[in-house]
Amino acid sequence: MMITKIRAKETLEGDGVVVNRLFPITKRMNFDPFVLWDHFDISAGHGFPDHPHRGFEAISYMLTGGMHHKDNLDNDAFVNKGGAQVFCAGAGIVHSEMPAEKGQSMGIQLWINLPKHLKKIKPSYQQVLSENLPVTTFDGGYCRTIVGEGSPVELHTDITYQHVNLKQDHFYQIYINQGLNAIIYVLSGELILGNETVDATKALLLECNEEQNLSIKADKDSEFMFCCGMPHHQPIYQHGSYVD
């Protein structure tokens, strides 16, 4: 297994929004099949006014506050903390994402590339509220599954996506199939995986050339995101809000 430790880069996006971005940035454009990873923290009055997309799927998962999604498919919906807004841009979609009218709205936006033969499919939107995402408890913590077993979220690319809380000196075990790429992104606290220690706004990128049974230890009370997926092994041409 190849492990790369990286740090998110503070980046300005939308209308006055500062994000911590893992990729795409200079020298690290994507991590097949994942195209963009933004940890956003939006104050009321800012956000992402109408803008177009095509060629990928996206998940906005809310950690605090909420997000109002509106698009040219006549979807108009709001999701609170612990919920997710999912869209497939396909051949093209225009949407806006604006935060709750008070306080801070924090979350993770993840873009997943569509395979070449699905780039021109019809766009679609799905919203899942917090209470509809499965939560599994274990010794020392709990895990909310955003995409994967028990979740109603449907994507065209097979991925697993989780939000994990882990108490100090406890372990989170997860099995990863051969060939998958995985991301462990720390929201707070400090994690240990093998010889690597990683803390807030840093991540480990894992390239699994053989099956892995990971044992992730919390060196402090920690909160992190985990996702993994099979690469498409196709060129990713990203330019602005399009992924062709």
pLDDT in tens, 7-17: 999 999 888 88
Per residue in 44-61, pLDDT (tens digit) is 889 999 999 999 999 999
Residue 146 pLDDT: 98
Q: 219: which 2 tokens?
A: 């060196």
19-34: average pLDDT: 95
Query: What residue segments make up the domains of the chain, in order of their start?
Result: 2-243
CATH topology of domain 2-243: Jelly Rolls (2.60.120)
CB burial class (10 A; 0-12, 13-18, 19+) of residue 71?
buried
> What DSSP assignment string belongs to 55-85?
SEEEEEEEEESEEEEEETTS-EEEEETT-EE
Would the pTM of this model clear 0.85, i.e. be above it? yes
Which pLDDT band, with edges at 50, 70 and 90, does 115 fall under?
very high
With contact defined as beta carbons under 8 Å apart, do 228 and 164 qualify? no
Q: What is the mean pLDDT of residues 195-217?
A: 96
